[in-house]
Structure 1
Amino acid sequence: MQPSHHRCETVVIGAGLAGISTALELLEQGRQVLLLDALPRSQCGGQANDAFGGMLLCGTPEQRRNKVQDSPELLLVDWLRVAAFDADDHWGRRWAEHYAERNKADVYDWLRQRGVSFFPAVQWVERGNFGDGNALPRYHVAWGCGRGVAQTLVRRLFEHAGLSCLFEHRVLGLEMRNGAVVGCHGRSGAGDFRIEAEHVVVCSGGINGDLARVRVHWDPLYGPYPENILNGTDPRADGALHAQVQAAGGQVVKLGRMWNYAAGIAHPEPQYPQHGLSLIPSRSALWLDASGQRIGPQPLVGGFDTHDQCKRIGHLPGQYGWQLLNWRIAIKELAISGTDSNPHFRDRKLLPLLWQLATGNRELVRWMVERCPDVLAADTLAQLAEKMVALTADGRLDPDLLGATLARYDAGIRRGPALYNDEQLRRLQQLRQWRGDRVRTCAPRPILAAGSGPLIAIRTRLISRKSMGGMLTDLHSRVLDAHGEPLPGLYAAGEAAGFGGGGISGIRSLEGTFLSNCILNGRRAAQAIAGHA
């Protein structure tokens, strides 16, 4: 049987957010596009459909309404400090500079013009353990979450007559002629196919859904590869086209750089092996090691430095930790990252969301306690310790040490704010100064305070999420060869390209840099193809 043959001006491989943004920009420039994806059309939008939908943006009306005076220059200073670029990160740094300058116009304004809006309160994430993160609140949550962003753009995409689509078509390789990429080939349910194109844009995602590849590229900075690691990314996001790009002569760099999270829990209804959920961890909880001792000497507090949290959990005995808290803290502070875990954001229901912020998310915590195997609850600390011992079955927990750790912390709270001499309590006081955090952070009270129970313990593990390295691209999203020259005909965008330049975030993200750079990368590729870059 002969392969089916298609000809087009531009083929975009991957219908996630980067691919959608690339295709939409080309269509709006009057170009013809063939959009191709291994999944059904119903899953158009890819991983963005499941994302919470936060984006790092500066100079927006939302910031101004929150009395935040930000600038591209300040954003870039923060970015360069946390990224800690190596000398060979030339293009990652160039993309960071471009993003700092253009995120408002090329991402925020572009989305607003196409019907995407943002929650009015700007969040302050990744502040840094020593003030070395985001100097200001910049995290903008899209109304409708990631799925709302993706599907808003998808609806516009399918309005264009210049769009052709091939869903359930998996690309297996690139076509080469005279040193140029001139198309791709692969397989569908109907058989083999071959596509001939002037321009090929790879938007096929990163490697982090394939834990075997994560293991190969694991950086020992995070400790040995954790055998108990969870997977927060669909295994079909396996980076299979990275090798094909390398075979064509393109560079793939820095795959050991990943953006994982330290507060993963096992999914109660797993869809694939080691399927996990990524918590937005409680700030008021005590984060303990396997023995029941507080992780320290500097306490682990969520929202300050995700990179550091992963390093510290990865080096613990057993490579897991415990968050110890109570019902009062859990209903106010606990959340799960993702679209469907945040239905009021997803469904754009402002009044129910405000009520939930004021009164607590009892439904979520009740579901976690009843369904999630890593979430335990008990009326007394002794009963909770028994459950913790039974869950891990590794003999590491010392119930007496657990009790002493909690008693010491609670005693510090009882002395009153004037005598707080604990770094976590100081951070909680700082968090509560910003209105976006005050509504999600409890005023300090002893964890064993009467009427605050039941007690809750959550076993946390590392969870694989995003690739921060990838195909090396210039500012036109052209893939570069071993000599640093553009490989004719080949472009890459989104996670496949490390969100720009093979690693726009260096070793550490300011958070919210992933969805937004899928859009920026894709638009830059389209503008270069259309001759407007």
Structure 2
Amino acid sequence: MSEVIVIGGGIAGICAALELLDAGRRVLMLERDCAEKFGGLAKESFGGIFLVGTPEQRRAGIRDTPELALADWKAFGELDPNDRWPLAWAEAYVQRCHDDVGLWLRKRGVGFLPAPHWIERGLFTPGNSVPRFHIVWGTGHELALRLIDRLENHPQRERLDIRFDHRVENLLSSNGAITGCSGVTESEQRPFELHAGSVIVAAGGFNGNIERVRQHWHRDWGTPPPVILNGSHRYADGRLHDAVSAAGGRLTHLDSMWNYAAGVHHPRPRKPGHGLSLVPPRSALWLDWRGRRIGPMPLVTGFDTRDLVAQVCAQERQYSWQLMNRRIALKELAVSGAEHNPSIRDKKKFAFLRDLIFGNQWLYDEMTGNCEDFVVGRDLPELVAKMNALQGDDAVSLDEIRLAAESYDAQIDRGQTFHNDEQLRRIAYVRHWKGDRIRTCKFQKILDPKAGPLIAVREFIISRKSLGGIQTDLQSRVLDGAGQPIPGLFAAGEAAGFGGGGMHGLRALEGSFLGGCILSGRIAGQAAASIT
């Protein structure tokens, strides 16, 4: 019999298994997906990790400390000082991420791009004071492969049994302690029942279940939009949340989610409602369903992702458009994830530098040629006609969209000294950081005839991450309604709200998802090994 069952083959589960093997424990890992998908959603991710006090920061002249990071984290997430475990996990993460996430990965062959990205700077609520988003050279795909390789070539590999196609539905208990799990195989629906000394739940969140997303929609966002795209894992359905709750575990902050405002339909969908999360160009105009610029505060990415969702959801029709031209798209358009960043994923330095300097022609062609939400026009009348044809109505007004574009361009024509547009002020601000300057146009007009053709992108809210989840203490032990650990039961990664049932609060400083999976997975593995 295995000593520990790890439910979930994502990064949190893999890290837990590595720690268990290091301690010489017998481990059974159950993964619902197939072997080719081992590594979970992290394998498809961009691979950004929140780190503090790194060599990359120091080389860039950035002075960062855990104290500064924690102040940013608490302010941006609006953490309740009385919310014990989320706050404790936030403190633990910023104190430990340098050694127990970053250094731990470096020792396992994981490298990072030279310049950290500066995102979630904060809008009305302070965010990252300095750049902390460290991108894995090779994206999340490389990260997953490196850790899987460590697992498969571990000196104690014979103590590990990995079973794919296993869907866990229930936890088993005896005398108040968790002693195993039961479920069915995904493909054949063949039942199984397995026993162990303890169980680690690392099965992800519930944001792949759009009905649950609607059920737990935060009141700040009003009513859920009619269209919510799925940017989460196809098996992130909350099934294990139910199992933990049935076993007496406490679920917290389920209405705290990390969704995005700029989702588009995947050109080659692999699941219902499959969406891609765009990194919207800062030089594009963010418009409502009629073609009016959303405001009065213009929407600009990189400052407060949660607020972008709130602003789009506050519109009469809860989708939006972004208006840009080819020059802006080539320099600034990006899509989150390994799939649409092949030069970084495949570690092709010259291709990566080419895209930075000359623009990402491959991505431009891919999205304008294959994504249904992109429309291209030689001029505004043609573009608006295509926008309305795509939506199937006459909602977009040519007069409104012309007013938005011409007013913005007129501001640029006055010169930077007289810029009185908040979007232009923020573009000037972000260009002070070298990591953003190379990826941000310098006051590019929308209707510039030399920068065409024009492009409009229809964007929907896209579901991504559960910030709440199973409540755990600092040993990743699952807590019951009275705040006491349930013997034999641990949780890690997104299932645990990345630690404590919601260590981020309302907002995340980005990169703390992968980092949280690594840290909480390692802690869960170490804790389970110590009692088994």
Class of the TM-score when normalised by the shorter of the 2 chains: over 0.9
Question: Is the partner of 1:441 in helix, strand or coil?
Answer: coil
Task: Determine the C-alpha separation between the residues in 2 that align with 1:41 and 1:363.
Answer: 30
1:60 — aligned with what? 54
**Counterpart mapping for 1:104-253 below 5 A:** 104-130=98-124, 132-159=126-153, 160-188=157-185, 189=188, 191-253=190-252
2:22 to 24, 28, 32: 28
2:36 — aligned with what? 42
Amino acid at match of 1:521: S
Task: Determine the C-alpha separation between the residues in 2 that align with 1:391 and 1:361.
Answer: 25
Q: Residue 235 of structure 1: CA displacement?
A: 2.6
2:471 — aligned with what? 472
Q: Residue 88 of structure 1: CA displacement?
A: 5.3
Task: Determine the C-alpha separation between the residues in 2 that align with 1:360 and 1:306.
Answer: 25
Do the aligned partners of 1:414 and 1:445 also contact (CA within 8 Å) in 2? no
Task: Determine the C-alpha separation between the residues in 2 that align with 1:63 and 1:252.
Answer: 36
Task: Show CA shifts across 1:110-145 (max 9, x none).
Answer: 101111111111110000114711000000000111
Amino acid at match of 2:107: Q
- Does 130-139 or 109-118 show the bigger shift? 130-139
Question: Is the partner of 1:236 in helix, strand or coil?
Answer: coil
Q: Residue 454 of structure 1: CA displacement?
A: 0.2
Task: Determine the C-alpha separation between the residues in 2 that align with 1:374 and 1:42.
Answer: 30
Q: Residue 403 of structure 1: CA displacement?
A: 0.7
Task: Determine the C-alpha separation between the residues in 1 that align with 2:270 and 2:233.
Answer: 9
Do the aligned partners of 2:40 and 2:233 also contact (CA within 8 Å) in 1? no
Task: Determine the C-alpha separation between the residues in 1 that align with 2:479 and 2:53.
Answer: 32
Question: Is the partner of 2:111 in helix, strand or coil?
Answer: coil
Task: Show CA shifts across 1:490-527 (max 9, x none).
Answer: 00000100000000100000111101100100111112
**Counterpart mapping for 1:77-88 below 5 A:** 77-86=71-80
Task: Determine the C-alpha separation between the residues in 2 that align with 1:25 and 1:114.
Answer: 14
Matched, 1:99 2:96: no
Q: Do the aligned partners of residues 365 and 244 (structure 1) sit closer, same or farther apart at CA in structure 2, a change above 3 Å counting?
A: same
Amino acid at match of 2:45: A
Task: Show CA shifts across 1:287-333 (max 9, x none).
Answer: 11111111111110011110100000111121011111100000000
Q: Do the aligned partners of residues 34 and 428 (structure 1) sit closer, same or farther apart at CA in structure 2, a change above 3 Å counting?
A: same
Amino acid at match of 1:132: P
Amino acid at match of 1:185: S
Do the aligned partners of 1:329 and 1:442 also contact (CA within 8 Å) in 2? yes
Amino acid at match of 1:202: V
Q: Do the aligned partners of residues 168 and 384 (structure 1) sit closer, same or farther apart at CA in structure 2, a change above 3 Å counting?
A: same
The TM-score with structure 1 as length reference comes to 0.97
Do the aligned partners of 2:76 and 2:125 also contact (CA within 8 Å) in 1? no
Amino acid at match of 1:164: D
Q: Residue 401 of structure 1: CA displacement?
A: 1.3
Matched, 1:425 2:427: no
Amino acid at match of 1:379: R
The TM-score with structure 2 as length reference comes to 0.97
Task: Determine the C-alpha separation between the residues in 2 that align with 1:164 and 1:330.
Answer: 47
Task: Show CA shifts across 1:176-197 (max 9, x none).
Answer: 1011101111222483222111
Do the aligned partners of 2:66 and 2:95 also contact (CA within 8 Å) in 1? yes
1:528 — aligned with what? 527
Q: Residue 43 of structure 1: CA displacement?
A: 1.4
**Counterpart mapping for 1:368-447 below 5 A:** 368-447=367-446
Question: Is the partner of 2:330 in helix, strand or coil?
Answer: helix
Task: Show CA shifts across 1:400-428 (max 9, x none).
Answer: 11111111110000011111111111110
1:73 — aligned with what? 67
Do the aligned partners of 2:75 and 2:125 also contact (CA within 8 Å) in 1? no
Amino acid at match of 2:475: H
Q: Residue 69 of structure 1: CA displacement?
A: 0.6
Q: Residue 87 of structure 1: CA displacement?
A: 5.5
Task: Show CA shifts across 1:44-69 (max 9, x none).
Answer: 10111111100111111111111111
Task: Determine the C-alpha separation between the residues in 2 that align with 1:408 and 1:20.
Answer: 52
Q: Do the aligned partners of residues 40 and 381 (structure 1) sit closer, same or farther apart at CA in structure 2, a change above 3 Å counting?
A: same
Task: Determine the C-alpha separation between the residues in 2 that align with 1:253 and 1:30.
Answer: 33
Question: Is the partner of 1:506 in helix, strand or coil?
Answer: coil
Task: Show CA shifts across 1:448-496 (max 9, x none).
Answer: 1131000001111100011001000000000000110000000000010
**Counterpart mapping for 1:290-329 below 5 A:** 290-329=289-328
Do the aligned partners of 1:174 and 1:245 also contact (CA within 8 Å) in 2? yes
- Does 445-454 or 300-309 show the bigger shift? 445-454
Amino acid at match of 1:392: Q
Task: Determine the C-alpha separation between the residues in 2 that align with 1:317 and 1:379.
Answer: 29
Question: Is the partner of 1:278 in helix, strand or coil?
Answer: strand
1:364 — aligned with what? 363
**Structure 2: gaps spanning 5 or more residues:** none
Do the aligned partners of 1:472 and 1:497 also contact (CA within 8 Å) in 2? yes
Amino acid at match of 1:37: E
Q: Residue 29 of structure 1: CA displacement?
A: 2.2
Do the aligned partners of 2:490 and 2:528 also contact (CA within 8 Å) in 1? no
Task: Determine the C-alpha separation between the residues in 2 that align with 1:235 and 1:526.
Answer: 25
Give the root-mean-square deviation of aligned CA atoms: 1.4
Do the aligned partners of 1:57 and 1:104 also contact (CA within 8 Å) in 2? yes
Task: Determine the C-alpha separation between the residues in 2 that align with 1:295 and 1:210.
Answer: 29
Task: Determine the C-alpha separation between the residues in 1 that align with 2:341 and 2:114.
Answer: 16
Do the aligned partners of 1:182 and 1:198 also contact (CA within 8 Å) in 2? yes
1:3 — aligned with what? none
Q: Residue 86 of structure 1: CA displacement?
A: 3.1
**Counterpart mapping for 1:465-504 below 5 A:** 465-504=464-503
Do the aligned partners of 2:139 and 2:338 also contact (CA within 8 Å) in 1? yes
Matched, 1:263 2:257: no
Question: Is the partner of 1:373 in helix, strand or coil?
Answer: coil
Q: Residue 30 of structure 1: CA displacement?
A: 2.1
Task: Determine the C-alpha separation between the residues in 2 that align with 1:61 and 1:91.
Answer: 30
Do the aligned partners of 1:293 and 1:402 also contact (CA within 8 Å) in 2? yes
Question: Is the partner of 2:262 in helix, strand or coil?
Answer: strand
